[in-house]
Structures are given as structure tokens and as C-alpha cells.
Amino acid sequence: MHQNDTICAIVTGIGAAGVSIIKISGDEAITLADKIWHSQVPISQMQSHTLSYGKLIDNFTEQLVDEGIALLMKGPRSYTGEDIVELQIHGSYVGVTYALELLIKNGARHAEAGEFTRRAFINGKLDLTKAEGIIDLLEAKNRQNLKFATDSVAGKSAEHIHQLIDDITEIIAYLEASIDFPEDDVPSLKKEEKQEKLYNIISDIEEIVQKSNKGKYISEGINLLILGEPNVGKSSFLNLLLDEERAIVSEIPGTTRDTIEEYLTIGKIPAKIIDTAGIRDSDDLIEKIGIDKAKQYIEKSDFIVYILDATSDYDKEKDQIYHLVKEKEKIILLNKTDLVDDQKILSKYKDVFIGEKILPFSTQDHKYLIEFENVIEDIFIDSSYDYNEGTFITNARQKGLLEQSLVYIKQAASSVETDMEDDFLTIDLYDAKKSLEEVLGIQVSEDILDQIFSKFCIGK
């Protein structure tokens, strides 16, 4: 089981630039890759040691994640001696992690340190001298094991997952007790009770996934919307981010009449950025259409950059715009601070926008841009990820496993829906339990029986 799983990992460093390679190895490497890789010829029908161009598509949502090249190396003529598929996709953090999570969700397991090499050795692909190194690595892992397990999911979420495991165990215990002790006085769960219990678990797992989820941002990057009154420097800000004169900038208010969309990365985050027409009370029809459009965009955006002109005071217009975006995640840029004393401005606006992120800014000075990028990364990348240590991979592993467990529970729920017999529920519930246990790095097997005997009075 553990030793035969199909494993996957990112085998190149993750940087902002270049190509990342995800390696998948094991019996199911090809089947798994085909689930998410769309190209003219399915990987299963490719010749060994050939490449094909294709698209990486989330098989659960049908969303396009990335595109790139798939390389097939069939066992035993591969590094590990097993079937290997390598997906070479763009190097962005989000895309690669997303792909990895997707593979885990589909049933792959994240490779442990040195596991590809170990498999290569076990399958007779490496020479003897390498074996010593592998054992050292395993020894280290053995020593670390406990620490690793507790470190990886900390505090609240670990507690929460433990709770979920208990909940699933409880349902299994009910089902198993009535299966193994059919004539004992064991209460059986009614259809509605099963459904209620399962739906509760589903919504709990979904909540955890969402909390840890920058998934929306990861699949599409973020949708970033620039808003503000006319002439505050919105287009200048866009040009600064792009480092080119993309939008027309002029001192005439209302220069930008329609929205402008551009793609770029902010730090490590891919983003679609939208520059809009300045918002003001207007009778000009064309401008009005632009403004209405801006309001629609607010709805769809993940993040708002609200730009104010630091040289002017807070007034009714600014307040109206603020109310449009009040509920959204945002940052407030006090632009043109090169013209005024930014500290004074800052303290003035801090009183107005209580609890908001406010950044003094100038499109004329690059140092502000770096500050802005830091803020974005803080918001969209969990600070607990340590990119150099690679712990973010552990996290992709966990998230993939959580989503895997969700798939199983949903299958169980649909078995209840279609009135399948209890035995068929247990199959998926055991799998879900196992996935959750793997998130925490624990393994429990006797606990079902313990639960049965403590909960029910067995002994017909």
C-alpha cells in the first residue's frame, strides 16, 4: 500500500521564471496524468520516451490551469523503473502547486524525501553505492517522523481534522456494528441521519479547504481592479506595474474611457489587472457606461486597489467610491505623495479608513512599488509557507489529501442518496478516513472496534 502508491512531486526549484517539472511515478502514473492532461494523443497512447504538447485542466471544475509539455517514460526503462510521466509547465508557484494538489486529489501521494531514488534503487536502477545514502535519509526521516507529523498541521486545523476523523469513525462504527452484530441491540442510522452526518462533514472539510485555500487565486491568479476618481493616477499605476507605457496618461481627467486588462505577476502571484475609467458623477453618457462597467467589475474582482489623490481632501465623492468597495478585500493607495508630506496625509486618512490597509504611494518612485508587492504577497501567500525549505509542498500534499477525502465523502453521500447498501458506504468512508489520517501523518486501525465496544452494548 504505502510502498506501491503512485507518487508525485515538483522536481525543479520553484521560481518566478522558467519551467517547473512535476514528476509522477508508479503504476497509476499514466492513468492519473491522463485525468488532468489534455492533448491530441492521450498519454496512455503515447510512445515511451516521447513528448506531447497539452493543457492541464482541473478534472473537477473543467478549468484550465496551465499548458505545457508531457513526457512519458514507461517502466522499466525509466529512472525509478516504474511508469513515469513528467509534466513541464510554467514555473509560477500557483500553477505548479495547483497541479500538484490536483494530482493528490486524484489519488497520487506526495513523494517523501528521496523516494524517487529509493524506488529507483529497489527496482534495480541504481548502483549499490547509492543505497547507503538512501538509508541515511530514511534514518533521518524515521527520527523526525513524529515531529514532522505534529509540525505539519498545527493547532486549530489539526484539532479540526482530528474531530473530522472522529466523526467519520463514528459513522463507520455505527455501520460496522450493525453489520458485524446484526442481532445485537445496535441502533441503526436512518437515511436522513446518515445524510445529515455526511453533509456536516462535507461542509466542515470544505471550510478547512477554503480557509487554507488560496485556490481561487491559484487557479486563475488574482483579479485585481484599480479604482478611483479621475486623474488620481490609476493608469500611471498600471504602467508602473507593467513597466511600460501601456495606458495613456494625461493631466486631463477622464482620459481612460474604457477598461484596460493586462496580465502580469506581482511578486509570485499571477494577476489579471484592470484599469478603469475614473468614477465621478457624470452626465457624459459614454463615461457613465464606463463607470457602470467599473461597478460590475467590482463584483467580480478579488482585490481592489483604491487610489486617492493625496493632495486633495477626503470628500463626498471619495466616500461614495469607498462605499462601493467597502465589503471587498482592498488596499488604499494615497498617490502623489511626492507632492505632499506623506506622514501627515497618512495619519489624516487613517482616521477616515479605520482598519484598512493604507499605503502612501507615488507612481514616480519605484520604492513604493516594492512595498506594494510585499503587501500583496502577504495577503495571498500564507506566511507560514517557507519557500526555501519546501514546506509549502507539504501543504499542497495536505490540501490535496483534504480534497481527496472530500471526494470520498461525497461518493459515500451519493451512495446514501441512491440507497446503496451500507457495506458500500463503508468502502468510501474508510478511504476518506485514511486520507484525513495522512494529512496528520497518523494511522489508526483498531479504533473502530474500540468505538463499537465502548458505544454499543455488544453481546447478543
Partner 1 sequence: MSYIGEKYDVIVVGAGHAGCEAALASARMGAKTAVFTISLDNIALMPCNPSVGGPAKGHLVREIDALGGEMGRNIDKAYIQIKMLNTSKGPAVHALRAQADKKEYQKMMYDTLRKQENLTVRQAMVDEIIVEDGQIQGIKIHTGGIFYADAVVITAGTYMDSRIIIGDLLYKSGPQGFLTTDTLSKSLRDHEIELLRLKTGTPARVNADTLDYSKMSIQPGSEEGLHFSFENSDREKAEKNIPCWLTYTNPDTHQVIKDNLHRSPLFSGVIQGTGPRYCPSIEDKIVRFENKDQHQIFIEPEGQDTNEIYVQGMNTSLPEEVQLEMLRTIPGLEQVEILRTGYAIEYDAVKPSQLTLSFELKNISGLFTAGQINGTSGYEEAAAQGLLAGINAALKIQKKDPFILSRAEAYMGVLIDDLITKDTTEPYRLLTSRSEHRLFLRQDNADLRLTPKGQELGLIKKERFDKFSQKVEDISREIMQLKQTKIIPSDPALKKLVTDKEIPDFRQLVSLYDVLKRNEISYQDLQSYGIYEGTANHEVAEQMNIQIKYEGYIEKQLKQIEKFNKLESKKLSADIDYSEMAGLRKEAIQKLDKVKPVSVGQASRIQGVSPADIAVILVFLEKNKRTQHG
Ligand X SMILES: Nc1nc2c(ncn2[C@@H]2O[C@H](COP(=O)(O)OP(=O)(O)OP(=O)(O)O)[C@@H](O)[C@H]2O)c(=O)[nH]1
| Contacts to partner 1 by CB under 8 A | 1-4, 27, 112, 115, 118, 121-122, 124, 128, 131, 134-136, 138-139, 141-142, 145, 176, 178-185, 418-424, 426-427, 430, 448-449, 453, 457-460
**Distance of closest approach, residue 300 Cβ to ligand X, in angstroms:** 20
**Distance of closest approach, residue 350 Cβ to ligand X, in angstroms:** 20
User: Would you say 92 or 362 has its CB closer to ligand X?
Assistant: 362
User: Would you say 309 or 437 has its CB closer to Mg ion?
Assistant: 309
Distance between CA atoms of residues 70 and 89, nearest Å:
9
- Give burial (CB, 10 Å; 0-12/13-18/19+) of 386: exposed
Query: What Cα–Cα distance (Å) separates residue 242 from each residue in 200, 245, 377?
Result: 46, 8, 17
Residue (of 130, 110, 126) closest to 8 by Cα position: 110
User: Would you say 194 or 330 has its CB closer to partner 1?
Assistant: 194
Q: Does 235 bind Mg ion (CB under 5 A)?
A: yes
User: Would you say 139 or 284 has its CB closer to partner 1?
Assistant: 139
**Distance of closest approach, residue 328 Cβ to ligand X, in angstroms:** 19
Answer with the entry of ligand X, Mg ion, partner 1, none that 460 interacts with (C-beta below 5 to 8 A by kind): partner 1
Answer with the entry of Mg ion, ligand X, partner 1, none that 340 interacts with (C-beta below 5 to 8 A by kind): none
Distance between CA atoms of residues 174 and 456, nearest Å:
9
User: Would you say 40 or 418 has its CB closer to partner 1?
Assistant: 418
Distance between CA atoms of residues 10 and 390, nearest Å:
10
Residues 248-287 as x/- pattern, contact with Mg ion by CB under 5 A: -------xx-------------------------------
Answer with the entry of Mg ion, ligand X, partner 1, none that 50 interacts with (C-beta below 5 to 8 A by kind): none
Q: Does 231 bind Mg ion (CB under 5 A)?
A: no
User: Would you say 307 or 376 has its CB closer to ligand X?
Assistant: 307
Distance between CA atoms of residues 118 and 202, nearest Å:
36
Distance between CA atoms of residues 324 and 311, nearest Å:
22
User: Would you say 86 or 115 has its CB closer to partner 1?
Assistant: 115
Which residues, 6 or more positions from 208, have their beta carbon under 8 angstroms from its beta carbon? Answer: 157, 160, 161, 402
**Distance of closest approach, residue 46 Cβ to partner 1, in angstroms:** 23
The one segment of 46-54, 227-235, 265-273, 402-410 that binds Mg ion by CB under 5 A: 227-235
Distance between CA atoms of residues 439 and 203, nearest Å:
18
CA 151 from chain center: how many Å?
A: 20
Query: What Cα–Cα distance (Å) separates residue 320 from each residue in 254, 324, 325?
Result: 18, 7, 9
Which residues, 6 or more positions from 442, have their beta carbon under 8 angstroms from its beta carbon? Answer: 149
**Distance of closest approach, residue 418 Cβ to ligand X, in angstroms:** 57
User: Would you say 254 or 267 has its CB closer to ligand X?
Assistant: 254
User: Would you say 256 or 395 has its CB closer to Mg ion?
Assistant: 256
User: Would you say 175 or 273 has its CB closer to partner 1?
Assistant: 175
**Distance of closest approach, residue 230 Cβ to ligand X, in angstroms:** 4
CA 294 from chain center: how many Å?
A: 28
Tally of residues, the chain = 460
Q: Concatenated DSSP letters for 156-213?
A: HHHHHHHHHHHHHHHHHHHHHHHHHSTTS--PPPPHHHHHHHHHHHHHHHHHHHHHS-
Cell of 338: 511626492
Answer with the entry of ligand X, Mg ion, partner 1, none that 251 interacts with (C-beta below 5 to 8 A by kind): ligand X
Answer with the entry of partner 1, ligand X, Mg ion, none that 181 interacts with (C-beta below 5 to 8 A by kind): partner 1
Answer with the entry of ligand X, Mg ion, partner 1, none that 335 interacts with (C-beta below 5 to 8 A by kind): ligand X
Interface residue list for ligand X (CB under 6 A): 228, 230-236, 249-251, 253-256, 277-278, 335-336, 338-339, 362-364
**Distance of closest approach, residue 87 Cβ to partner 1, in angstroms:** 24
Distance between CA atoms of residues 297 and 424, nearest Å:
46
Distance between CA atoms of residues 273 and 256, nearest Å:
15
**Distance of closest approach, residue 393 Cβ to partner 1, in angstroms:** 18
Cell of 269: 502571484
Q: Does 335 bind Mg ion (CB under 5 A)?
A: no
**Distance of closest approach, residue 303 Cβ to ligand X, in angstroms:** 18
**Distance of closest approach, residue 351 Cβ to ligand X, in angstroms:** 23
- Indicate the DSSP class of residue 254: T
Cell of 62: 473543467
Contact 304, 329 (CB under 8 A): yes
Residues engaged in binding Mg ion (CB under 5 A): 235, 255-256
